[in-house]
A and B are shown apart, each in its own frame.
Chain A
Amino acid sequence: MKLKTLLLSAALIATPALAWEGGPDRDELMKEAPNPAWNGFVLAGQDTTEIADGLYAFRYTGTRSIFLVTDDGVIATDPVSVEHARRFRAAIAEVTDQPVKYVVYSHEHWDHAIGGQVFKDEGATFISHENCAKHFADLPHPDIVMPDVTFADDYTLELGGRSLELLYFGPNHGDCMVVMRPDPGDYIFIVDLVTPGGAPLGFMPDYSPHHYVRTLKEIEELDYKAIIGGHGALVAHPSAVTERRMYLEALMAAVRSARETGQSNIRETVRLPQYEYLRGYEDRIEDNVRRMQTYYGIGW
């Protein structure tokens, strides 16, 4: 796999366009879990990185989108916010004069879906899983552009001889999440389902835990070499998916077993010391436990 680092050229021409993000070296990020390098990501400012030929990641503060440049235009992903989208559009213009022809939503949550108007204004077609459209209609947001094209299962978007595969695994984090696989298929773009080296958000909004585990197992079966994360490390070894899946399985087993043995005070007593190294573990484990108590208690 070849990752271009254009830090030197960027410094020479004094424009802030293309640089390998100021985080750890790519070789460090590509080591297997547990990998402390995954905690070294940058949150300040923004950056654009060419990850493979024509495949770029754009990050502004803590959230990342990818875009794919083709001879017939650009495929962009999550606009994230009005400000993110404005900067994202400018960053794309640093790389190519091609128009943005498509915007693909990873899922329905506002912290990824807001802000697409700047792309709509230039005529982009918006694409999402059909279940996202239901959420957008159910809870409208003035800064969300409704999808023009929806699909019910996997979907392949083709443009200028390139393609972006949208892989749908059913309900997991919400029920319209897609994992994206650009052509060529060395990378997959994963939003929220995996944050390399981190514990999941305590309250796990909108997650269906056993479908989440199932989805991660199915992703582990895919053929690819690295993930690009919607949050956290720019790229990571596929074992980041396995690490998250094993954490969830350990969490669910521990809570289930504590419930079955009638243990009291589960929230304070169930802990996973083998995963203390995960970023955010201390802050999140109690809420993670509480979430699984709810799951086993009321099926939510």
Chain B
Amino acid sequence: MSEALLRIQNLDKSFFGVKVLRDVGLELHRGRVLGLVGENGSGKSTTMNILGGIHQKDGGRIEFDGREIAPQNSREAQALGIAFIHQELSLFPNLSIEENLFLDHFPRVSGALPFIDRRRMRERAKAALGLVDLDISPGTPLGRLAQGERQLVEIVKALSREARLIIFDEPTTSLTARESERLFTIIERLRGQGIAIIYISHILGDVIRLCDDIVVLRDGQVVAAEPTSALHIERMITLMVGRTIDHLFPERTTKPNDDRAALSVRGLSQPGTVKDISFDLHRGEVLGISGLMGSGRSELARIVFGLDGYESGKIAIDGAELPPRSPRQAMERGLAFLTEDRRGEGLMMEASIRDNIVLPSLPEHASPFLHFIRASELGGLAQKMAEKVHIHARSLDQMAVRTLSGGNQQKVVIAKWLLRRPSIFILDEPTRGIDVGAKYEVYKIINQLVGEGAAVLFISSEIEELIGMADRIMVMSRGEVRGFHDRAHFQREALMRAALWD
């Protein structure tokens, strides 16, 4: 076996006296892909941040290309040939692709003058974009590109700096299925060129498919480092959470109620987003909506909840029509909406847990006179809801939700709706970006709600999740319904094919 490109040994790191990494070690060879998995807080990001020069190690040894390194900042790491592609991309949407690529090393007209050689920059950018099959004019403003294309630009940027190791941190969270496929092809190609890759993701299926070796971290320690062939998903999860989750999805014993539909949508159309959507959602039922980003699934959710308008069609709750464009009315009729954008739309990140939980319920707990809030009554209810969904926090009113983990933040969103005792839940990507343990808890909460007679519309881009949780799956593509699949006939390929319909 050849000499390793990267060798990490006995890495230690503490933050504020808390040890977050103990004795972490791993090895990576040229032209191989290493998967790094673990729950949030298991030390994946810290390890990578040390490698990328963002944090400094307390102890241990990092060898890169046979030399010991200790990058003090991201610039030093880049100079060594280590590129870090973050979840949130570090590109400027207001600049063009080429300007983004050459931001810190613009080709100059001559060595002495501070003028950019636009023509040379264009040529070099074009050649570089060709490496990832991105056929777009380099002068296009980055803001006009789709998420997946921006990611490719970021990769090109890394390649233009002659990166020998590229770290991908959750690269697919904001990509559509097709964009992800494209990214995987590019990663395969980079591997063929002898570039080493570290791939971090919560989507274990992708990790297994893509990686040669997998390192599992738990509580800052390496609990497994094996070739992919020796691992399967169930075992990876067991290693990650340190306990056995018998099944990925908790068992549900209750059956949907076949009476009148709780939520009934007929012929719903809005030009440019959805076309002729019809479905019924019953009490005690989980109706999954599968579709790629841009298939109209989130737009449908927003219309049903009254956030956006529609041109034609009908939405009825328990047989009575729901007026359009009024979230307040929808809420009063028992609807709850968990959005896909937790940080941007679900929570007030700077406010406390309690203030977030009580927000939708304020009008019902205001006195008739001058609308003063009955704060202690609401506080008690918030406390109860927080306990019900097991939010792990020292206190409900001292900490900003910004400081919570993704899973806990999502539980705050769930709690804020539970306080209203809704009967119909629209859940748009409820498990996005949260770790395996928290996902399992969210599934359990969903089952509990359905068991108590709630109806759940479950939107997800993870097909396994829908297969595990839904009673029926409605597949959407290009704003239209492609078909319904019953639990008895769930088939991954058929669902995928329907979603990718062209």
Say whether A associates with B: no
Give A residues with C-beta under 8 Å from B.
none
